[in-house]
Amino acid sequence: MDHDAGVHVNEIDHPLAAERLAALRDESTPSSAFRRALHELSSFVVYEATRSLATESVEVTTPLTVTSGRRVAPQPLLVPVLRAGLGMLVAAQELLPDAPVGFIGVRRNEETLLPDAYMSTVPADLDGAPVVILDPMLATGGSLVYTCEQIADHNAGRLIVACILAAPEGLERVAEAGFDAEVHTASVDERLNEVGFIVPGLGDAGDRQFGIQ
């Protein structure tokens, strides 16, 4: 795992992940195929992001004997950042079917590029449980910093971020905010453009999922 400005960054290097990412980047990919590729790539990213979750021993009865196994404990809280994070939620729930879910709604103000929050269902006391934040695009970092602030105020444990793309500027902003967070992404892209979009990027992940032009 690499380290970038104090934030732990894991850039996933796998041919299957690269193939799905190429489909997401392609402007000709229709919404249906975009959602499918996002779902599949999200599975890869969340799989890597949860590699170091704590586990406990359980007894398992096989057809032949009794043996020991492992299960995730405590279960992390899954927090998709609305609306684009919804495209990663089902993949995360397939891997962590017993994990609770809290939602944070943030929209970007296109003039200030700052987050406008409109919703939060994060439990009042997380009792130190880890949190997996699902947000496809870590661009300016404003939405992620806001989300981390909300979660940290609820007695959270480890902050684990699963995203599809990250910009260096966004990673730097999260680091400057002082959060002890892990960021797992399919790619750290080149930069942000003048209106805060990731380059080369894939456009607006929410719009492309839901067929809005």
Active centre residues (catalytic): 108, 112, 204, 207
CA distances from 120 to 68, 117, 147, 188, 199 (A): 39, 8, 9, 28, 30
Query: Are the beta carbons of 88 and 162 closer than 8 angstroms?
Result: yes
Residue 156 and residue 158: Cα distance in Å, rounded? 7
Query: Are the beta carbons of 171 and 141 closer than 8 angstroms?
Result: yes
All residues at 6 or more sequence positions from 22 whose CB lies less than 8 Å from its CB, including other chains: none
Residue 163 and residue 158: Cα distance in Å, rounded? 16
Residue 150 and residue 148: Cα distance in Å, rounded? 5
Count, residues in the chain: 213
